[in-house]
Structure 1
Amino acid sequence: MEKPEENQAPGAPEPSFAADTPDLNNAAAASTPEQRLAELEAKHSEMADAYLRAKAEAENTRRRAEEEMSKARKFAVEGFADSLLPVKDSLEAALAIEGATVEQLREGTHATLRQLATALERNKVIEISPPAGTKFDPHQHQAITMVPVEQEANTVVAVLQKGYLIADRVLRPALVTVAAPK
């Protein structure tokens, strides 16, 4: 049998540690109703202030996000336009030359085309120009006509107009002729 502690009467219940912690209900009962009301009003005021601050912060965050999205939409083409300016400059310079030979115009046109291709590449605009014999892909190609040829059916025979992708999305499908089934 266990030995009772010295201060504990035999058969008395075990001491509770709850006596060490103050009972909040008893503390509230010990204070006057006016004091309790003042405490609750102060707590309410604190909570209302915190709520209003959080609400204002959320509203400011939403407004800033909307402004940033608006600016992003408005200036989305800024980089693209900036990369096209040298192409425009080259075309204007070519038109300003009086008495240019056909060879000079041809050379300038090729240089301008290279500038344009570089600007498009920099902005993730990729050509779709499938070689002959490539399987027809309706997601990237648009068949203009089917022609009877000696190659596998539903494959590209010729590209009539190149297509373009921008960031893996088809900007314009390539216009192609396709081999007809035999």
Structure 2
Amino acid sequence: MKNKKDYKRLKEKYKNMLIDFEKSKDREEKKFLSINKFSDEKFIKNIIPILDSLEITLKFSKEKSSINGIKITIKLIKSIFKNNNVIKIFPKKFDKFNPKYHHAIMSIKKNFESNLIFNVLQKGYIMFDRVVRPALVSVTI
């Protein structure tokens, strides 16, 4: 009788250890994928202000030779963003304010429903469903 009990106990213990191992393996795999997925986030955060500056420069530049170089650089940066699943957050006027994606830095008193985006002051960016930089907006109150 004792051998059967020991066998059942060891079998149950082995089964539980195997389940724990699988759970641990899954956790570590998810952790690895997350680290891998967001490893470029810091790099993207550092490039965003450069893209902002280039787009502003393009808007006000009058020299044809400069404009072509700026357009090519912007295109290359946007290509890097696309390859890293970086998506622009640029809400439309009167879209509902969402604190997950928007950062209100100004409030506008108008005869509109409250918590609507009135103006986008700076576009934001998302990388793999995670906000890298929220869009800076003014909202109605």
Give the TM interval when normalised to the shorter protein.
Answer: 0.5 to 0.7
Q: Measure, in 2, the Cα distance between the counterparts of 1:69 and 1:176.
A: 34
Cα distance, 1:55–1:112 mapped onto 2, change above 3 Å: same
8 Å CA contact 2:96–2:117 kept in 1: the answer is no
Write out the 4+ residue segments of structure 1 that deviate beyond 3 Å after TM superposition: 102-106, 121-124, 152-158, 165-173, 176-180
Q: Classify the secondary structure of the residue corresponding to 1:110.
A: helix
Where structure 2 has 5 or more consecutive residues not aligned to the other structure, the ranges are 48-62
Pick from 71, 75, 82: which aligns with 2:36? 75
Cα distance, 1:105–1:179 mapped onto 2, change above 3 Å: same
Residues 149-160 of structure 1: matches in 2 within 5 Å? 153=112, 158-160=119-121
Bigger radius of gyration among the two? 1
Aligned residues: 118
Where structure 1 has 5 or more consecutive residues not aligned to the other structure, the ranges are 1-39, 88-101
> Could you tell me which residue of structure 2 aligns to residue 41 of structure 1?
2
State the TM-score, normalized to the length of structure 1.
0.46
Cα distance, 1:66–1:159 mapped onto 2, change above 3 Å: closer
8 Å CA contact 2:97–2:117 kept in 1: the answer is no
* Mapped pair 1:116 → 2:111: no
8 Å CA contact 1:124–1:167 kept in 2: the answer is yes
Q: Measure, in 2, the Cα distance between the counterparts of 1:122 and 1:168.
A: 14
* Bigger strand share: 2
1:104 is displaced (CA, Å) by: 4.1
8 Å CA contact 1:136–1:178 kept in 2: the answer is no
Q: Measure, in 1, the Cα distance between the counterparts of 2:96 and 2:73.
A: 31
8 Å CA contact 1:157–1:176 kept in 2: the answer is yes
Q: Classify the secondary structure of the residue corresponding to 1:47.
A: helix
Identity of aligned residues (%): 22
8 Å CA contact 1:128–1:173 kept in 2: the answer is yes
> Could you tell me which residue of structure 2 aligns to residue 144 of structure 1?
106
State the TM-score, normalized to the length of structure 2.
0.56
1:75 is displaced (CA, Å) by: 2.0
> Could you report, residue by residue, the CA deviation over 1:56-79 in whole angstroms, capped at 9, with x for unpaired residues?
31232233234323422432235x
* Mapped pair 1:57 → 2:23: no
1:50 is displaced (CA, Å) by: 0.9
1:153 is displaced (CA, Å) by: 3.4
